[in-house]
Amino acid sequence: MERDERAVKKVVINLAERSEEILRRTPQEEDKYNRIAHSLLKKGIDNLNLSTPDLIKIDAQYSEAAVLRGGIKTIALKKPKIVFENCINFKNPSVSIEPLVFLEKLGYRLYYPCWLDPKSEFLIPSVVQNNNYSSSILLLHPIKSCDRFLYSDMINIYACHLSQLVFSA
């Protein structure tokens, strides 16, 4: 258990280092990323001739599995970190689980970003708004695909390949 906690802390640090870079996008850069996202569904990540990503951010509304399948070679070989929004599709629940199972089969660990309140030690969902969590700690709570429906309809998921997690003694 102690090893998992250290790994989560390391993952939190890596995510925090990248978040500032993501927040500095201009509207033009955001538009460029949106055009690329539409191309992903048509061509697939593996066929876009992009430099090897360290991080893949997916926002494809029920098409996350298609985007992941289109990047199977890149994902399996380079093992980038992956962040995506996962919504429950009540008409076809397997659509919600498919990207999670896909990543787990490739050796990825899945995490639900949330806040840890140091005073109460409660986990607070990352989607909670209108509260000041500046004194809280960002925590990546491990989840499994089989537990997906225990969470709210829409959640963010951070996926990190097991080989990218650092366990120290």
Whether the per-residue pLDDT at 132 is higher than 60: the answer is: no
Neighbours of 61 (CB within 10 A): 9
Whether 101 and 81 have beta carbons less than 8 Å apart is answered as: no
Report yes or no on 87 lying in a domain.
yes
pLDDT at 6: 43
Report yes or no on 121 lying in a domain.
no
pLDDT at 33: 65
Report yes or no on 25 lying in a domain.
yes
**Which 3 state secondary structure label does DSSP give 118?**
coil
Tell me which range, 40-54, 55-69, 74-88, is most confidently predicted by mean pLDDT: 74-88
pTM score: 0.71
Report yes or no on 118 lying in a domain.
no
Between 30 and 76, the more confident residue is 76
Report yes or no on 85 lying in a domain.
yes
Report yes or no on 129 lying in a domain.
no
Q: Name the nearest CA neighbour of 169 among 3, 24, 32.
A: 3
For 90-122, what is each residue's pLDDT tens digit? 899 899 999 999 999 999 999 998 888 778 888
Distance (Å, rounded) from C-alpha 22 to C-alpha 40? Answer: 19
Q: What are phi and psi of 89, to 5 degrees?
A: -100, 105
Distance (Å, rounded) from C-alpha 164 to C-alpha 107? Answer: 10
Report yes or no on 50 lying in a domain.
yes
Report yes or no on 104 lying in a domain.
yes
Distance (Å, rounded) from C-alpha 109 to C-alpha 8? Answer: 10
Whether the per-residue pLDDT at 19 is higher than 70: the answer is: no
